[in-house]
Amino acid sequence: MAAERTFDSEKSQLEYYSFRCSTERYLNQRWRRMYYLKEYFLKDFCTPRTFSFPLQGFYEVVTKSKYWEMTGLLLVCHLVLFVVIAAIIYIPLMTLLSPLMVLLGPIGVILVHIQWIIQSQAISGFVVKLTIWPTYQYRIFQMALLYNTGTCSKPMKRPGIQRSTQPAAYRGVNTDWSKRISVSMHILYVVGRFLFFLLISLIPIVGPIVVNLLHSSSRAAAYIRNYLEWRGCEPAQMKELKKVRSGLFWAFGIPATLLDLVPFISIVSAAGNTVAATKWGLELTGKGIV
């Protein structure tokens, strides 16, 4: 009995220690992120050159005929899908928004049809990017590297993953508590974020635009991913870079998002943003950030 009580006491101490470590680690991450925002955000965000990269990329795609073959095919696929999807969702959307048309009269009819175009554009663009876009994006990235660096070499070898130096006795229990805390926090975050964006997206016309703008930094991270992988960055390193220099990602992501929201040319702007992200990545490398 004494041995069992001793074992239970040691187990309780380990669980308490692991819980305390997990809580401290979570709070330290929050404080560290606040420090990064205070230290870098405004300085990185107020960088006019970063804002200009999406326009530079769009101009390069439009003016260099080498890009036309890929962007032309993607644009045709997008337009065909747009017509099909617009025809499919027209009646359900008009039925759903009919109270708005009755309430606002002619203005409501115009607003509903604008919403119909925006929704059709968004859905068709999403389908194209989900299916054939990833392959073409990497080819556009390689071409952008060739234009801007004169080479299109293979990706660098990625560094190995740094292993934990924590004692094994604590590592196992700590991981268990870390999972419990991280899962709980993640569920609260995901549910809260979903409800927040859902409420905003219900605002006619303006809502979807605002939701897209609020995802600007994630959009920037998606566009620069190919370059960071080419540089040999690990996924954890990419995530850390986005946290530390979030101002840069917002500065690039906002104009890139606005270009992606322009009807009928979002595929061309996506190609332009891929080229722009390559230029942006080369500048970050030149500054020693990447």
Mean pLDDT of the chain: 78
Please indicate, yes or no, if residue 3 is contained in any of the structural domains. no
CA neighbor of 224 nearest in space, from 54, 70, 55, 59: 54
Q: Is the pLDDT assigned to residue 232 strictly greater than 50? A: yes
Tokens, residue 9: 């006491």
CA distances from 50 to 30, 107, 163 (A): 27, 38, 35
Confidence (pLDDT) at 187: 79
Residue 157: inside a domain, yes or no? Answer: no
Over residues 82-103, the mean pLDDT reads 85
**Domain-embedded: residue 1:** no
How high is the pLDDT of residue 58? 93
Identify the pLDDT of residue 9: 58
| Residues of the domain holding 117 | 12-152+172-286
Residue 6 lies in a domain: no
pLDDT of res. 30: 56
* For residues 207-229, average pLDDT: 89
Q: Please give the average per-residue pLDDT across 269-283, as a whole number.
A: 93
Percentage of the chain beyond pLDDT 90 is 20
Rounded Cα–Cα distance for residues 186 and 191 (Å): 8
List CB contacts of 282: < 8 A, sequence separation 6 or more.
148, 149, 227
For residues 27 and 186, the model is more confident at 186
In a domain, 5, yes or no: no
- Count of domains for the chain: 1
The 10s digit of each residue's pLDDT in 185-214 is 667 777 777 788 777 876 777 877 888 888
pLDDT digits (tens, 9 = 90+) for 140-167: 999 999 888 877 665 554 443 333 344 4
Write out the DSSP string of 216-247. Answer: HHHHHHHHHHHHHHHTT--HHHHHHHHHHTHH
pLDDT band at 249 (very low <50, low <70, confident <90, very high): very high
159 is a domain residue? no
- Helix or strand holding residue 169 (H, E): helix 168-201
Comparing CA positions, the residue from 81, 63, 61 lying closest to residue 71 is 61
CB-based contact 173:18 (threshold 8 Å) = yes
pLDDT at 14: 56
Flag whether 129 is in a domain.
yes
Residue 207 included in any domain: yes
